[in-house]
A = this chain, B = another copy of it.
Amino acid sequence: MTLLEKTSTSPDPEDRSMAIRETLRNAIIDRRLAPGTKLSEAEVGALFDVSRTVARAALQMLTFEGLVKTERNRGAFVSHPSPEEARQIFASRRLIEPGIVTAAVERITRDDIARFREQLIEEERYINDRGPAARRAEIKASGDFHLMLASVAGNAILQRFMDELVARSSLVIALYGRSGVSSCGHSEHFAILDLIERGDAKRAADLMLHHIDHIEADLDLQPKQGVALRDVLATG
């Protein structure tokens, strides 16, 4: 039993810091923890009933995947990606995701497609619901579509990269999103799935590229005044 490969993203249930990481990750992704929020070791430890050692390990992992930023002797904070970081995140996705779609076309099964349709229908439900809880679920579901695709593509390394990119994209959308979540994105998910089902790798990859462009176009990534501080002081 222990000989079976384990996908790198499934948390080892025995490792407590991994479980904490997962929980915090989810909280960050669906915006219950806002960018900039401080995550002190003692607080996290108390919350999960573990020592600072374990809490610290979890925060270190989150730091490694860019969801948390730690400053020496100051502590860990939920990442607050700059517009430049946001651009890099989406540039990375533009590079990787068309390839993932292409690989997925080769490997997707009838069962996979059924699960995708289920997922998309659930996503749809959240779009029509009102309230912050539905909004959170919608964001999560929207990202999950991309992650499921990465999972089907069958490359554990790319899957991990996508885990990171999708999670960080959530942060970016939370910070710079204009219209909450672009609901046009949802119909694109359906369209991409259709093209994949038909085996049209070229068009599917192309639509994925446009889809990512659309998500990024919905952001307000103004340079944010590189000279911000000076200006603020001058006018204040």
Contact = CB atoms under 8 A, between A and B. Distances in A.
A231 interface: no
A96 interface: yes
Given A3-B229, A64-B61, A95-B96, A14 B72 contact: yes
Given A12-B72, A72-B15, A95-B96, A157 B89 contact: yes
A11 interface: no
A40 interface: no
Interface in A112-154: none
> Is the contact region of chain A dominated by helix, strand, or loop, or is it mixed?
helix
B61 A92 contact: no
A78 to B, nearest CB: 17
Nearest to A15: B72
Contacts of A66: 8, 157
A60 interface: yes
Interface string A56-67: 010011001010
Contacts of A85: 156-157
Interface of A: 3, 5, 8, 12, 14-15, 53, 57, 60-61, 64, 66, 72, 82, 84-85, 88-89, 91-92, 95-96, 99, 103, 155-158, 161, 165, 229
